[in-house]
Structure 1
Amino acid sequence: MFRITKEFHFSASHQLCNLPDDHPCARLHGHNYIVEVELSAATLDRNGFVLDYRELKPLKTWIDDGLDHRHLNVVFGHDGITSEFLAREIFDFCKKHWPQTSAVRISETPKTWAEYRP
């Protein structure tokens, strides 16, 4: 199996409203998110790619226009915007555009990652 990944970045705020008031994530706060999209294929296309990285530009546009410098609770209409939730949402977007999508990883901090892989 061949695998490629591409990394994207965005900054956004969120609030985990269902946590106890004394939990730091219950307060409005933000992160500099890192998104890694993984695509996999058993064979390569005629150019020798799983996918030409340039074809991922619609994802960059979607992130830049819809997520970057936004309040994610408002964007998704949801009070529990975790990294796990974001990984699944971004995976779903990618899978619709690129069937080779095999996983999405999200980092909120340099030491934490969440991954969605069906």
Structure 2
Amino acid sequence: MIQQIYPSTPHPYQYELNKDMQFAAAHYVPGPGAGHCGNMHGHTYFANVTIAGNELDENGFLVNFSDIKKLIHDRFDHSLLNEHTALFSDKDPDRYPTTEIVARTMFELIQEFLDRMPAKPRCVQIFLRETPTSYVVFRPAAGGSYGS
């Protein structure tokens, strides 16, 4: 992957981990105003996950990079996002697999995993590039969690 400079968000933590990954996935946006995006099509998504915290685990890790890859890449690579019905829905506009909602969903999956860790690191940003010219940044609301 080519080195990318991502927008950053200030946070009060000592450590910041960034994991870059890419995955190929197809989707369609079922909304009436989706235009061409209503047709099934694919992207090679480029994602950057930013996690921050103050404590390292017994291995000296904030989070093991491979755990983040399993949560995102291994779940979504070479799949049709719309078929991940536990995460996305063709009937609920708040769960259509748009780039914005995919980024938010990635945050939710990662933060749920982090919440089970003793040191409780925080996912502070998801950067998700859908095309060479289009990307979304998702950050949790003030207070550190989605929906706060």
TM-score normalised by length of structure 1: 0.80
Structure 1 CA distance, aligned partners of 2:79 and 2:32?
Answer: 21
1:78 aligns with 2:89: yes
2:71–2:109 CA contact under 8 A, matched in 1: no
SS at match of 1:105: strand
- Change beyond 3 A, Cα 1:51–1:20: same
SS at match of 2:109: helix
1:51 aligns with 2:67: no
Letter of the structure 2 residue corresponding to residue 75 of structure 1: H
Structure 2 CA distance, aligned partners of 1:60 and 1:70?
Answer: 15
The structural deviation recorded for 1:100 is 2.4
Letter of the structure 2 residue corresponding to residue 107 of structure 1: R
Structure 1: segments with no counterpart, 5+ residues? none
- Amino-acid identity (%): 27
Pick the aligned partner of 1:40 from 27, 38, 52: 52
Letter of the structure 2 residue corresponding to residue 94 of structure 1: I
How many residue pairs align between the two structures? 113
TM-score normalised by length of structure 2: 0.65
Correspondences of 1:1-118 after superposition (within 5 Å):
1=12, 2-20=15-33, 23-41=35-53, 43=54, 45=56, 51=62, 55-76=64-85, 77-79=88-90, 80-98=96-114, 99-118=121-140
More strand by share: 1
The structural deviation recorded for 1:33 is 0.5
More helix by share: 1
SS at match of 1:78: coil
* Larger RCO of the pair (alpha carbons < 8 Å, separation 6+): 1
1:40–1:50 CA contact under 8 A, matched in 2: no
The structural deviation recorded for 1:51 is 1.9
User: Runs in 1 of length 4+ with deviation above 6 angstroms?
Assistant: none
Structure 1 CA distance, aligned partners of 2:56 and 2:75?
Answer: 31
2:28–2:39 CA contact under 8 A, matched in 1: yes
